[in-house]
Amino acid sequence: MKALGISGSPRADGNSMLITRHALTAIAEEGIKTELISLAGLSILGCNACMACLKEERCIIEDDLMPIYEKMKAADGIIIATPVYFGSATALVKGLIERTGYIVRNSGGTFQGKVGGPIVVARRGGLTFTLAQMYYWFETMEFYMPGVARWNIAQGLGKGEVANDKEGMDGAWKLGKNMAFLMKTVHAAGDDKPRR
Ligand SMILES: Cc1cc2nc3c(=O)[nH]c(=O)nc-3n(C[C@H](O)[C@H](O)[C@H](O)COP(=O)(O)O)c2cc1C
């Protein structure tokens, strides 16, 4: 089993990366392989509604999306972390969820049976709104999602500041532990594949 963490900030090595690494450490402690990737520096455009993914399981826009989609498809658990940008997920994350979401929708729900969850970081405003935005996506992709008391949100502005938000860091840790439990449970039940 493998868990993939995706930092959806255009800022390299910032708070999203730090807190996702923390959640993945909690998962790795339970004996599950982990990989952390960052979307910083990548080009991931929004969906252009061309509908090419109705015919084949890929997006024809030539940017950095498809290798990320392949990694997501191969993972049993996925965390997507995003900073709040003007009350919402970043454009990178929007592009990622729009286009992988449409590929998945048109290819038989290839994310069903995976365990997932978002993490949202911000200085202050828009945390729960953005968390809800992300939850809607995970839900419609039919991920199994664990709950986390007081939600998977954390505060910080400058690089690394999120580490000072103990409650936020503890929430991410708990997300990792709950995801590891759920991944093992779903795997043992043989329910980690799309139901056709
Ligand atoms: C373009 C932009 C928009 C932002 N909008 C918000 C916002 O709406 N609310 C907020 O609390 N913080 C906002 N922030 C601050 C970031 O969410 C915060 O610095 C976060 O920790 C960045 O995460 P990162 O280090 O992973 O990039 C914004 C930052 C940028 C660059």
Task: Say which CATH number the domain at 84 has.
Answer: 3.40.50.360
How many domains is the chain partitioned into structurally?
Answer: 1
Q: Please give the pLDDT value at position 35.
A: 98
Q: Please give the pLDDT value at position 89.
A: 98
Please tell me the pTM assigned to this model: 0.98
Q: Whose CA is nearest to atom 9 of ligand 1?
A: 125
Q: Please give the pLDDT value at position 196.
A: 74
Q: Whose CA is nearest to atom 17 of ligand 1?
A: 122
Q: How confident is the model at residue 195 (pLDDT cuts 50, 70, 90)?
A: confident
Report yes or no on 14 lying in a domain: yes
d(CA 122, CA 144): 25
Q: What number of CA atoms fall less than 13 Å from residue 57's CA on the CB side?
A: 11
Q: Is the pLDDT of residue 193 over 90?
A: no
Q: For the chain, how big is the Rg over CA atoms in Å?
A: 16
Report yes or no on 95 lying in a domain: yes
Q: How confident is the model at residue 72 (pLDDT cuts 50, 70, 90)?
A: very high
Phi (first) and psi of residue 110, to 5 degrees: -65, -10
pLDDT tens-digit profile of 81-122?
999 999 999 999 999 999 999 999 999 899 999 999 999 999
Report yes or no on 83 lying in a domain: yes
In our burial notation (b when 16+ CB lie closer than 10 A, e otherwise), range 7-45 reads bbbbeeebbbbbbbbbbbebbeeeebebebbbbbebebb
- Residues contacting ligand 1 via CB (< 6 Å): 9, 11, 14-16, 83-87, 121-126, 156-157, 159
2-7/77-83 β-pairing:
parallel
Q: Is the pLDDT of residue 52 over 80?
A: yes
Report yes or no on 18 lying in a domain: yes
Share of the chain above pLDDT 90, in %: 96
Report yes or no on 64 lying in a domain: yes
Q: Which domain holds residue 174?
A: 2-188
Report yes or no on 195 lying in a domain: no
pLDDT tens-digit profile of 5-34?
999 999 999 999 999 999 999 999 999 999
pLDDT tens-digit profile of 128-171?
999 999 999 999 999 999 999 989 999 999 999 999 999 999 99
Report yes or no on 62 lying in a domain: yes
2-7/33-38 β-pairing:
parallel
Report yes or no on 193 lying in a domain: no
Query: Which residues, in sequence order, are CB contacts of 31 under 8 Å at separation 6+?
Result: none
